[in-house]
Structure 1
Amino acid sequence: MRTFRRRPRSDDGSTTVEYAIVTVAVAAFAAVLYSLLTGDSVVSWLTNLVMKALSVPS
C-alpha cells in the first residue's frame, strides 16, 4: 500500500497570519482611541457638551 503525501501549498498558514495582523491592527486602533478619549481636552469637551445638553434654557 502506498501513501500519498499532500504537497504543501504556498499559502498554507496565510489565514492565521491575516488574523494575527488584523488583531494587532485592532489593538493598536483601540489604544489610540483610548488615549484620545481619555485626554484632558476631550474629557472637558464632553463634559461641557453634556452640561449644555442637560441645562434648562431660560
Structure 2
Amino acid sequence: MRTTLRSASIRSARIRIRLRRFAAAEEGMSTAEYAIGTVAAAAFGAVLYGVVTGDSIVDALTGIIDKALNTAI
C-alpha cells in the first residue's frame, strides 16, 4: 500500500512540475516579431488595396453587374 501511495505522490509531483512549466511558457510575440508582423500586415494591406482598386477588378465587377441586369427572364 505504501508503494502505491508513494508512486501516486511521485506522479502527482511530476504533473505539478509539468503544469508549472506550461503556465510559465512564454506567450505572444517579442518586440522584433511584433514589428515584422506589423510590417507584413501593412504590406499585405497595400497589395490588397492595389488589387481591389485596380482597373481589372472594377471592370470585372461592372461586367458581372451589367450581365446580371441585362439577363432576359
**TM-score bracket for the superposition, by shorter chain length:** 0.5 to 0.7
Q: TM-score scaled to structure 2, two decimals?
A: 0.51
Bigger relative contact order, structure 1 or 2, given CA contacts below 8 A and separation 6+?
Answer: 1
Structure 1: runs of 5+ lacking an equivalent: 1-13
Q: Which residue of 2 aligns with 1:17?
A: 32
Poorly superposed stretches of 4+, deviation over 4 Å: none
| Larger Rg over CA atoms | 2
Structure 2: runs of 5+ lacking an equivalent: 1-28
Q: By percentage of residues, which structure has more helix?
A: 2
Q: Percent identity?
A: 56
CA distance in 1, matches of 2:72, 2:38: 47
Q: TM-score scaled to structure 1, two decimals?
A: 0.62
Taking only aligned residues, the RMSD between alpha carbons, in angstroms, comes to: 1.8
